[in-house]
Structure 1
């Protein structure tokens, strides 16, 4: 049975466990690998090479690791099916574009690594208007490191507190931003951003699973007739 490793630097403990379980390691950069251009990507392993693959909507390392697992599984899947799956697979809350005019994007990025990926995706989008970010974070996350990435793609900040003992206040977020608006709740920040957004703008909801989930709940409640 295969054990797929998607991290480029594998902890030695994984090799120990794999040997103990009798699992066959499939390591990124050893048994399989991938390369990316601005327009497509390629994947290679013991079965051969797939080229000109469509860029995925999910994070690239995730797509490549999933493909490695699929090919190591022995399942018979056509190349066309693989290409279709890569092009259409989404993860709710991960660069999820939910509407246009204005464009609304949900992304649960809450650490510097995820914020770096989100920043790259935002920069790749055609930008005609401004980017308005509705953000709430947990205070035990790397707020400064996360916001350092997002500052380069966000024009206007709508900061909200998250409920519970781990929730950062809007003022704590503003300390790292220098400018922006603070609100008493995620719902208020969302309403303000949507009221300010023009058709050509982008409203980005990010910073935490809690932030995205709260906005989703607000939207669902209003669609079902609630307030």
Structure 2
């Protein structure tokens, strides 16, 4: 009898001595044993790397492809509420049985011969690839977890590579030199194959990699672009692989960055699909991505955890009618630049509710409150966790106030679960610490 999914996930967290152990040597050995490198896992594979915008690009490309009749698989990370979110077929999260089957086959392969130790992410990636290969959809979209060159998804050769943005993040693993970061992310490129570049400014190292490989580059602002129209709609201009120009008008705002929406349409065209007006409008009107400017009543949830993403969130909120007060429920891991996040969000946040995050990378709410004070912000209280913060804030929130929940996937997940579970009722908050200032 197969072990439950949660048992597998707990086991995977324990089986490798290092949580993040970058490199393709171990993954490549197991992938070969699984037959993943012996043939395509899908008719076409798109790999998406970048500092910000990967998730929204994947979501819009997947939705566009389905709207045009293609079967799809997508693999993303991290998940927000359930591990199953990481692997989707035709927009539906994989069931437990599919994931467990993948984990069992990966485990058997890593032990077939000299045992190979895999990290949680590596085992999960291989299990997802096995499941995708079983289905062989028309389009598989793989999101890079960290970096690019040494990320586990890079064991698969993509037909089209995408680089969204390049900014500072994950400094412990990628460093702070943008040229080096660019080179790492450009490691997903393949000889002579297309790459879609979703930023108007990228480090020179990306161009150097393109030239070295003879990759065919499609640049935002040069080969494809978007423009805002009247009434809040927008226009896309792009081109085919042969250079023929196309455009779509009167596209609805997807609620996600238009740079990434333009990338998704350009990738779709390079996949050989002609974006149709009705289907493209339907996709843009119905696409959604949990934790990205996701509204639940007057609560806004966004997983922005670096300055680049925070500036985008602030710009989008600034376009809304200002509430009487907006409260920033903020939880930030210790290896992130909290003060830069606070500075980016300060123009649209009137008061703060800092929260603690657990784990080896966790940062206390008290420490975050000190950062807020240094930036001149007002702190209402300090909570021991996102759930505790929701418990305290929900019954006190006025109808003409808003809450922005951000800073980490952990912050958004904890607060979203608490809010949806009815946090703020008597009882749950009684066991969680909130210090009112």
If the length of structure 2 is used for normalisation, what is the TM-score? Answer: 0.47
Aligned to 2:355: 160
Matched, 1:74 2:267: no
Aligned to 1:193, the other structure's residue is in SS state helix
In the TM superposition, residue 217 of structure 1 has moved relative to its aligned partner by 3.3
Contact 2:235–2:250 (Cα < 8 Å) also in 1: yes
CA distance in 1 between counterparts of 2:236 and 2:275 reads 15
Aligned to 1:189: 389
Aligned to 1:28: 220
Aligned to 1:44: 237
Aligned to 2:258: 60
CA distance in 1 between counterparts of 2:341 and 2:236 reads 30
Aligned to 1:174: 369
Unaligned runs of 5+ in 2: 1-192, 240-244, 429-437
CA distance in 2 between counterparts of 1:155 and 1:193 reads 15
- Of 59, 64, 85, which aligns to 2:283? 85
CA distance in 1 between counterparts of 2:386 and 2:227 reads 39
CA distance in 1 between counterparts of 2:222 and 2:323 reads 42
In the TM superposition, residue 218 of structure 1 has moved relative to its aligned partner by 2.9
Aligned to 1:210: 410
If the length of structure 1 is used for normalisation, what is the TM-score? Answer: 0.86
Distance verdict in 2 for CA 1:185–1:49, change over 3 Å: same
In the TM superposition, residue 80 of structure 1 has moved relative to its aligned partner by 1.3
Aligned length: 222
RMSD (Å) for aligned C-alpha atoms: 2.5
CA distance in 1 between counterparts of 2:323 and 2:417 reads 29
Aligned to 1:199: 399
Unaligned runs of 5+ in 1: none
| Deviation larger for 56-65 or 38-47 | 38-47
- Of 97, 100, 121, which aligns to 2:295? 97
Distance verdict in 2 for CA 1:219–1:85, change over 3 Å: same
Matched, 1:9 2:207: no
- Of 337, 346, 369, which aligns to 1:142? 337
Aligned to 2:360, the other structure's residue is in SS state coil
